[in-house]
Amino acid sequence: MVHRLVVSYGQPDDPAAFDAYYRDTHTPLATRMPGLLRLTTGSPQTLDPTQLAPYLVAELDFESEQAMGAAFASEEGKAAAGDVARFATGGATMTHYELNEVHAPR
């Protein structure tokens, strides 16, 4: 079963600087974490205009919650986690959960 970490980044003070740093510095750090199966990102848009959407959402998939814990306990994981404060001027919220696959009826 896949375990997912979701990082929701708030609106940064300087979006262009955030984008460049995330692309050129943070992503290479994050992808070095042992046990990382997949890292995906997206710029969400809200369906309700009265609500603010995160600036960027990153999803990091691991084989299990234990694998995620081991990844963040590693030197690479500590480097990636410690790096967030350097660029996430709009804050970052992290949540994680076990994926449960649900099939839509046909």
Closest to 27 measured CA to CA, from 62, 72, 58: 58
9 occurs within a structural domain: yes
What's the domain range around 22? Answer: 1-32+65-101
pTM metric for this prediction: 0.92
Q: What is the CATH number of the domain that holds 19?
A: 3.30.70.100
Q: Is residue 44 part of a domain?
A: no
The pLDDT of residue 48: 94
Work out how many domains the chain is built from and give that number. Answer: 1
Q: Please list, in sequence order, all residues whose beta carbon lies within 8 angstroms of the beta carbon of residue 40, skipping any fewer than 6 positions away.
A: 58, 59
Residue 43 covered by a domain: no
pLDDT recorded at residue 104: 86
Distances (CA, A) of 91 to 37, 38, 64, 99: 25, 23, 26, 25
Percent of the chain clearing pLDDT 70 (strictly above): 100
The model's pLDDT over 61-102, given as tens digits with 9 standing for 90+, comes to 999 999 999 999 999 999 999 999 999 999 999 999 999 989
**97, part of any domain:** yes
* Tens of pLDDT, residues 13-33: 999 999 999 999 999 999 999
